[in-house]
Amino acid sequence: MSTAEETAGGETQPWGEVTPDAARRLLVAAVEAFAERGYHATTTRDIAGRAGMSPAALYIHYKTKEELLHRISRIGHEKALRVLRTAAEGEGTPTERLAEAVRSFVRWHAGQHTVARVVQYELDALGPDARAEIVALRRQNDSTVREIIEDGVAAGEFDVPDVKGTTLAVLSLCIDVARWFNVNGPRTPDEVGALYADLVLRMVGAEK
Amino acid sequence: MSTAEETAGGETQPWGEVTPDAARRLLVAAVEAFAERGYHATTTRDIAGRAGMSPAALYIHYKTKEELLHRISRIGHEKALRVLRTAAEGEGTPTERLAEAVRSFVRWHAGQHTVARVVQYELDALGPDARAEIVALRRQNDSTVREIIEDGVAAGEFDVPDVKGTTLAVLSLCIDVARWFNVNGPRTPDEVGALYADLVLRMVGAEK
DNA sequence: GGGCTCTCTAAGCAACCGCTCACCTTCGGG
DNA sequence: CCCGAAGGTGAGCGGTTGCTTAGAGAGCCC
């Protein structure tokens, strides 16, 4: 939090943790390419070209093309999880915490929709071990949201007949933002976040 | 409706309109392969192999691999749209029609989740012309749902501050079912449909 | 200034891709 | 009984893929 890195939606220094510089440039190029065309339709030559390097340079910093995807997926998931948890662990009633969690999680998926798209939709391109690691991170998203909803039910603020199903639906709604969000569209990440927070509060039967 | 083909979620005679028999087998094989590994990761040899034919046989019935995807996308979208419209144009109040529309649309995306996955997530693999055709079909989904919501608002049954945004969210929620639905999971397509219909009624502020 | 490490490139290899072609079989109609 | 159309195959072509290798510079410590 001491750095300027922690703004949800539009980070000032994204991928700052990736060094050296050439490795970061390659990773950013890979994110763009994967998000645009998909993992399998992206060539290593394309990634290297976007980073202004020769095809062989990629293999100095990464063992395989899959390792690039793995790195992107882990870092992306960890960031999204951190955003979600920060909101979930904040002060306030379950209603306020759920609203803030959805607002910031959606804001991230909209603002960082290229990363989010890779992270959420290219999971199957990973090998079994890497996929298992990412799936574990995903389950933490699920737990975080479910706990807020359970808190709200216990406090009598929410009316939710099916907690597990509603948790699934809430997360599904947020994640799918990465698929349809368009930078040139009519809505900003903030606006989508506000809209979705309102819709989710309605889904759990919370008073506004 | 005179045939036994029209059961949402699990059709008795799917792809019945595709002839001859070999062309249908190839198309079914392609749906499985595309849904499992994605369009770009699927080879024509894989498709032909699943259909029990040699690689060359594919090109007797389809000009290119992309034509297969195009055919799948169009047929799949048309079926989903028909399911949605049948519910939307039915009798009843906007509340009843919205619930039925969501219920059957979700049931289709869960029951036919392999087709739905191809249809919804491989759009970018199509060329510009084919993509434009599919996008047009998608806009009809959007209009269908928006009209029900507008009817409900006009009738005083719904409380929806942002009709366009809510329409988007409802469709997004339904479509994303295709991504996470698992046949071996704990829920049947019917159960997911019922849960989602309830959640959507809450989103639009309808009385139960 | 010689050697060592780190970074990067030009060239290319083996494998695999979508797709084609020459040829074979099956089968209904005259 | 021959014929043409329709449906299928084995072999393979040109191009592309992920990745490797041999070697060139640049910087740095001694």
User: Is residue B167 predicted with pLDDT exceeding 60?
Assistant: yes
> Quick one: average pLDDT of B37-66?
96
Q: Which of B6-10, B18-22, B33-37 is modeled with the greatest confidence?
A: B33-37
Other C-beta atoms lying within 10 Å of the C-beta of residue A157:
19
Q: Which of residues 15-54 of B touch strand C (CB under 7 A)?
A: 42-45
Q: Per-residue pLDDT tens for B191-201?
A: 999 999 999 99
User: Is residue A55 predicted with pLDDT exceeding 60?
Assistant: yes
Determine whether the distance from the CB of A42 to the nearest atom of strand D is below 7 Å.
yes
Nucleotide with minimal C1' distance from the CA of A57 is C8
> Quick one: average pLDDT of A83-95?
95
Nearest to A199 by CA among A160, A172, A168, A173: A173
Q: Does A22 touch chain B (CB under 8 A)?
A: no
Determine whether the distance from the CB of A60 to the nearest atom of strand C is below 7 Å.
yes
Chain B (132-161) residues lying within 8 Å, Cβ to Cβ, of chain A: 161
Tokens of B192: 């997911």
A202 CA: distance to closest CA in chain B (Å): 5
Determine whether the distance from the CB of A60 to the nearest atom of strand D is below 7 Å.
no
Check residues A135 and A207 and name the one with the higher pLDDT: A135
Other C-beta atoms lying within 10 Å of the C-beta of residue A156:
8
Tokens of B11: 């059709």
Contact residues, chain A, for B37 at CB < 8 Å = 124
**Which amino acid is present at A32?**
E
Q: Nearest residue on chain B to A177, judged by CA atoms?
A: B172
> Quick one: average pLDDT of B3-16?
59
Q: Does B3 touch chain A (CB under 8 A)?
A: no
Percentage of residues in chain A with pLDDT exceeding 70? 93
User: Is residue A28 predicted with pLDDT exceeding 80?
Assistant: yes
Percentage of residues in chain B with pLDDT exceeding 90? 88
> Quick one: average pLDDT of B111-116?
96
> Quick one: average pLDDT of A52-57?
94
pLDDT band, very low/low/confident/very high, at B11 (cuts 50, 70, 90): low
User: Is residue B92 predicted with pLDDT exceeding 80?
Assistant: yes
Determine whether the distance from the CB of B66 to the nearest atom of strand C is below 7 Å.
yes
> Quick one: average pLDDT of A58-72?
95
Q: Give me the residue from B38, B166, B205 closest to A40, CB to CB.
A: B38
> Quick one: average pLDDT of A79-106?
96
Task: List CB contacts of A32: < 8 A, sequence separation 6 or more.
Answer: A50, A114
Contact by Cβ (8 Å): A196, A103: yes
Nearest to A173 by CA among B120, B187, B172, B101: B172
Q: Does A202 touch chain B (CB under 8 A)?
A: yes
Asked if omega into A20 is within 30° of 0 (cis), the reply is: yes
Q: Give me the residue from B37, B175, B202 closest to A202, CB to CB.
A: B202
Domains of chain A: 13-62 (1.10.10.60), 65-203 (1.10.357.10)
Contact (CB<8Å) A169/B169: no
Q: Nearest residue on chain B to A123, judged by CA atoms?
A: B37
B147 CA: distance to closest CA in chain A (Å): 19
Kindly report which listed range (A8-17, A39-48, A83-92, A116-125) carries the lowest average pLDDT score.
A8-17
> Quick one: average pLDDT of B148-155?
97
Determine whether the distance from the CB of B160 to the nearest atom of strand D is below 7 Å.
no
> Quick one: average pLDDT of B4-14?
57
pLDDT band, very low/low/confident/very high, at A4 (cuts 50, 70, 90): very low
**What is the Cα B96 distance to its own chain's centre?**
21
Contact residues, chain A, for B187 at CB < 8 Å = 165
- Taking the C-alpha atoms of residue A185 and residue B58, their distance in angstroms, rounded to an integer, is 40
Q: Which of residues 13-32 of B touch strand D (CB under 7 A)?
A: 20, 22
Q: Does B73 touch chain A (CB under 8 A)?
A: no
Q: Per-residue pLDDT tens for A99-121?
A: 999 999 999 999 999 999 999 99
User: Is residue B42 predicted with pLDDT exceeding 70?
Assistant: yes
Q: What pLDDT score was predicted for residue A21?
A: 85
Q: What pLDDT score was predicted for residue A106?
A: 98
pLDDT band, very low/low/confident/very high, at A11 (cuts 50, 70, 90): low
For residue B96, count CB atoms less than 10 angstroms from its CB and return exposed for 0-12, middle for 13-18, buried for 19 or more.
middle
Q: What pLDDT score was predicted for residue A14?
A: 76
Q: What pLDDT score was predicted for residue B5?
A: 46
pLDDT band, very low/low/confident/very high, at A172 (cuts 50, 70, 90): very high
Check residues B154 and B14 and name the one with the higher pLDDT: B154
A107 CA: distance to closest CA in chain B (Å): 15
Contact (CB<8Å) B173/A177: no
Q: What pLDDT score was predicted for residue A16?
A: 76
User: Is residue A1 predicted with pLDDT exceeding 60?
Assistant: no
> Quick one: average pLDDT of B160-184?
97
Question: Rounded mean pLDDT of chain B?
Answer: 92
Determine whether the distance from the CB of B1 to the nearest atom of strand C is below 7 Å.
no
Distance B117 CA to C22 C1' (A): 39
> Quick one: average pLDDT of B141-170?
97
* Beta-carbon pairs below 8 A across chains A and B: 67
Q: Per-residue pLDDT tens for B133-149?
A: 999 999 999 999 999 99
